[in-house]
Structure 1
Amino acid sequence: MDKDQSKNKEQQTNIEEEDTLTTRQGHPVTNNQNIRTVGNRGPAMLENYDYIEKISHFDREMVPERIAHARGSGAHGYFETYGTVGDEPVSKYTRAKVFQEKGKQTPVFVRFSTVVHGNHSPETVRDPRGFAVKFYTEDGNWDLVGNNIKIFFIRDAMKFPDMIHAFRPDPVTNYQDSERFFDFCASNPESFHMVTFIYSPWGIPANYRMMQGSGVNTYRWVNQEGKAVLVKYHWEPKQGIKNLTQKEAEEIQGKNFNHASQDLYEAIEHGDYPEWELFVQIMEDGPHPELDFDPLDDTKIWPKDQFPWRPVGKMILNKNPENYHNEVEQSAFGTGVLVDGLDFSDDKMLQGRTFSYSDTQRYRVGPNYLQLPINAPKKRVATNQEGGPMRYENDKAPGQSLHINYEPSILGGLKEADQTGKEHTPYVEGNLVRESIDRNDNTKQAGETYRWFEDWEKDELISNLVGDLSQCDQRIQDKMIALAEEADEEYGRRLREGLKNAAKDGSSMNPLGAKDAEKASDEAIEKGHDSEPY
């Protein structure tokens, strides 16, 4: 090799090195798409060092506002169980005490929120809505942390910081840019189903009282014999479901950017207590190769005709917070906060969220955030944890020696509890890999959702997509059109035609073609489908 060739090769190597993604330790990142799991379905490993470093830094990017779900409202109430799952006793599926006795009431605190935008952003933004419920059960706290939409943008927790970065304001200009949003979504086709929901009227719930909630992730229920089933949670508002068109949202925002918080507070203040019924979908534990999707994939909906919604209880919110900061702002939720009879599945997003949520609260509120009244369980607490900023009491049992802060001890101190039911011990076998799950069709359900929409919702979806996509790079537009065409021929054709018309007019206004956008927004506004898609 002559000197020129050697120099060229060295320069090329340097260029590649400069463009190579690394960790903060300088390690080249060879797979930034998947956490490491046993087989491509999971479970995840605690030794996911790259992921833990990435997510723990992300958890600390903003002070003191929440990284996500910053804008929120909350209320107190109670959950009343039916004692059954549909027509069957709930004990067949779970031994969790919160569900066992008909009529049993458990105190709850609920926080509703927007996801991407800041603490003082309008509540009319096109954005998922958080729906987090803290149950103060007799076995300790249970947090059911979810959103208003039943799916999510990504299926692997490794991508979560990238997703939020793309959706938040540009780090240079500090304003949000639809091109960044669609660049991420076009580059991660699994997000297309969620994009279809978000850009339809379902992307702007009319208020918090009239929106659905979902646990999004797949969990497990475990019964007394240690047998487990997979479960999905769904909240259905008794007030009915109502969403907003873009035109309506803009009109509300021009007058009141706190409308959803105000609506919730005033309804409770006037005794018009909002109510939701809790439904579950149940599936035998396992990979279910007969399905065309993986039940652990949180970009997918479980078909209702195959896995029916079965009622298990209802929730009523009947008390407003006495102090917003103390109760709403400092409330802390975590997907890992489960009680006996409720368990994790191998859902990779769930396992990634479980580390991130509690880690974020320790940073945002402090390591002793669980001593705050809004977060503390309504039962005795006895731990050997010590110190940390803002600690104000010892978690000791009455009469316990303050000298013994370890376990086990011959001299006294706390002791382990007895196991009341048989522990669930799933069998796990497989190579440790960094791979996406199988059966990851990214557009089939998006097409089914599009066909399930009513005509005015389809019009809104196309109008909203064209309005933002028309501002994006042609390559991003082409990719989004291809995903829409793959999902549904009409969906793709209308999106293509809308973008073509917008480019011709030099404007993104009224791009619908088949029906004028303004006329569509004046049509039926309330949305209460008698059935869910699929």
Structure 2
Amino acid sequence: MTTQDATTGPLTTEAGAPVADNQNSQAAGVGGPVLVQDQHLLEKLAHFNRERIPERIVHARGAGAYGTFTVTADLTRYTRAHFLSEVGKETEVFARFSTVAGNLGSADAVRDPRGFALKFYTEEGNYDLVGNNTPVFFIKDALKFPDFIHTQKRDPYTGSQEADNVFDFWGLSPESTHQVTWLFGDRGIPASYRHMNGFGSHTFQWSNADGESFWVKYHFKTDQGIKNLTESEAAVLAGEDPDSHQRDLRESIDSGDFPSWTVYVQVMPAADAANYRFNPFDLTKIWPHADYPLIELGRMELNRNPQNIFAEVEQSIFSPAHFVPGIGPSPDKMLQGRLFGYGDAHRYRVGINADHLPVNRPHVTEARTYGRDGFLYDGRHAGAKNYEPNSFGGPAQTNRPLWEPVTVSGVTDTSEAPAHAEDDDFVQAGNLYRMMTEDEKERLINNLAGALSGVTRDDIAQRAIENFRKADADYGKRLEAAVQALRG
């Protein structure tokens, strides 16, 4: 059925029967009680009660758009991914931008990382790149993720977000110091989704046609320029227009002012990883550009708005496990956890057949699986066999893995990743602080102090301050003074 078929002609029930009266329910006589035989009434009420699916635990608040990714440089020496195979090649994309901690009804202009999730509809299947607008994150192991998110959400007793919980966790998790510095700096509140950079954040594997493998990081540089909001500007905007970022994205595309990003990668030969000065798979660390410069890859433009927010944005799903030949995972422990966690969240939230929905299914090729049935199954396989191997001509394996194998050794235990020469939780946070101008430092200190002043326990506040002091002595000293001034 086409959209035109569904939106014109006589009104019908869900089963297609014409509706005679959509203004008045059936009653037992004029002014009498409603009849249970009025199935149109019951169907409408039952459907209305079920219009919402569970919102995302994180990244609930978001906006999306379709567009095009165009290759601008030949990087086939690094990857055999077909959608990156030649300069000028275009691939349809769907992007979803979001805040992390807020619920579906929260405001856009808040201090929070922004999700930067992309779906590339390639001829080898969908490739999902699920990142943020920051190159790092608060933690390095997915085992800590539920605990971290609990601190960002509502307290089980007060029902509100509590500064005690936020800074208690951050203070006891020194690895968060780098990301917290990003978050409370100028880029913590983007002016719009169009005016922020995006990052794959994790390290991924690329492999070329000869079987050589490389580690890569993705960077999306906004062509609109970076624009941010101050704390006071954001507070006003969030109150006056909670939908500010969603509205800006939609209206810019509707007016033909298509936002775009220039896409770069950093490429590390696989052999470099073992002796690199930082653990290259640690999500709380960047690779300095002096070590691995940015290499241009392509350009992404968003040029088409969704026609139905629920169907195309709310029901869209992204999973870091959706790879294509020539691209694969790394040993990053946060990424490894997300390979399971995201798909499982979608199976719970949207359903086992979420990949059948138009926004999620492949647009250039067909998904050929032996998965069957389940909620909202559309019968696409008809009477074809539902097992493999079979002798009836069903889909068969290719015998070529999507990515190259990684050598592992040692015993199984719960130890931390091995430390590299310059690994610690503070050096990169300190480097970031020292790169800031004096005005940027002042705003960072004021933003952090404003949040820390809401902590009710002195030991929690002091422990958090000490982490910033370890990153840079001046950073900690100024923050401590600012907190003391606010707390009297």
TM-score range, shorter chain: 0.7 to 0.9
Check the 8 A contact 1:222/1:424 in 2, yes or no: yes
Match of 1:429 in 2: 409
Match of 2:465 in 1: 481
Rounded to whole Å, the distance in 1 between the matches of 2:158 and 2:403 is: 52
Establish whether residue 191 from structure 1 lines up as the match of residue 193 from structure 2.
no
How far off its partner does 1:125 sit?
1.1
Match of 1:68 in 2: 58
The 3-state SS of whatever aligns with 2:176 is helix
Letter aligned with residue 81 of structure 1: V
Rounded to whole Å, the distance in 2 between the matches of 1:486 and 1:113 is: 32
Superposed counterparts of 1:225-240, under 5 Å: 225-240=210-225
Per-residue displacement from partner, 1:349-399 (whole Å, max 9, x unpaired)?
Answer: 111001000000011000000000000001122211111011112247xxx
Rounded to whole Å, the distance in 1 between the matches of 2:238 and 2:390 is: 61
Match of 2:264 in 1: 279
Letter aligned with residue 428 of structure 1: V
Superposed counterparts of 1:58-457, under 5 Å: 64-84=54-74, 90-286=75-271, 288=273, 290-378=275-363, 379-395=365-381, 402-417=383-398, 419=400, 424-437=404-417, 438-439=419-420, 440-457=423-440
Check the 8 A contact 1:91/1:223 in 2, yes or no: yes
Match of 1:469 in 2: 452
Rounded to whole Å, the distance in 2 between the matches of 1:280 and 1:445 is: 20
How far off its partner does 1:290 sit?
4.3
Rounded to whole Å, the distance in 1 between the matches of 2:271 and 2:415 is: 19
Per-residue displacement from partner, 1:31-89 (whole Å, max 9, x unpaired)?
Answer: xxxxxxxxxxxxxxxxxxxxxxxxxxxxxxx96000000000000001001242xxxxx
Check the 8 A contact 1:300/1:445 in 2, yes or no: yes
Letter aligned with residue 291 of structure 1: Y
Check the 8 A contact 1:170/1:177 in 2, yes or no: yes
Residue range with higher mean Cα deviation, 467-476 or 403-412 = 403-412
How far off its partner does 1:410 sit?
2.8
Aligned residue-pair number: 432
The 3-state SS of whatever aligns with 2:297 is strand
Letter aligned with residue 462 of structure 1: I
Residue range with higher mean Cα deviation, 463-472 or 215-224 = 463-472
Rounded to whole Å, the distance in 2 between the matches of 1:423 and 1:331 is: 26
Rounded to whole Å, the distance in 2 between the matches of 1:153 and 1:480 is: 14
Rounded to whole Å, the distance in 1 between the matches of 2:201 and 2:106 is: 24
Per-residue displacement from partner, 1:81-131 (whole Å, max 9, x unpaired)?
Answer: 1242xxxxx111100011111111100000000001101101111100000
- Judging changes above 3 Å, is the alpha-carbon distance between structure 1 residues 459 and 382 closer, same or farther for their aligned structure 2 residues? same
How far off its partner does 1:407 sit?
1.1
Letter aligned with residue 475 of structure 2: Y
- Judging changes above 3 Å, is the alpha-carbon distance between structure 1 residues 315 and 403 closer, same or farther for their aligned structure 2 residues? closer
The 3-state SS of whatever aligns with 1:327 is helix
The 3-state SS of whatever aligns with 1:80 is strand
Rounded to whole Å, the distance in 1 between the matches of 2:205 and 2:272 is: 13
Check the 8 A contact 2:429/2:471 in 1, yes or no: yes
Per-residue displacement from partner, 1:388-422 (whole Å, max 9, x unpaired)?
Answer: 011112247xxxxx252111123442222363x89
Check the 8 A contact 2:426/2:467 in 1, yes or no: yes
> Under a length normalisation based on structure 2, what TM-score does the superposition of the two structures give?
0.86
Rounded to whole Å, the distance in 1 between the matches of 2:170 and 2:302 is: 36
Rounded to whole Å, the distance in 2 between the matches of 1:74 and 1:63 is: 18
Per-residue displacement from partner, 1:142-186 (whole Å, max 9, x unpaired)?
Answer: 000000000000000000000000110111221111111101100
Match of 2:483 in 1: 499
- Judging changes above 3 Å, is the alpha-carbon distance between structure 1 residues 127 and 429 closer, same or farther for their aligned structure 2 residues? same
Rounded to whole Å, the distance in 1 between the matches of 2:402 and 2:258 is: 39
How far off its partner does 1:289 sit?
5.1
User: What is the RMSD of the two structures over their aligned residues, measured on CA atoms?
Assistant: 1.6
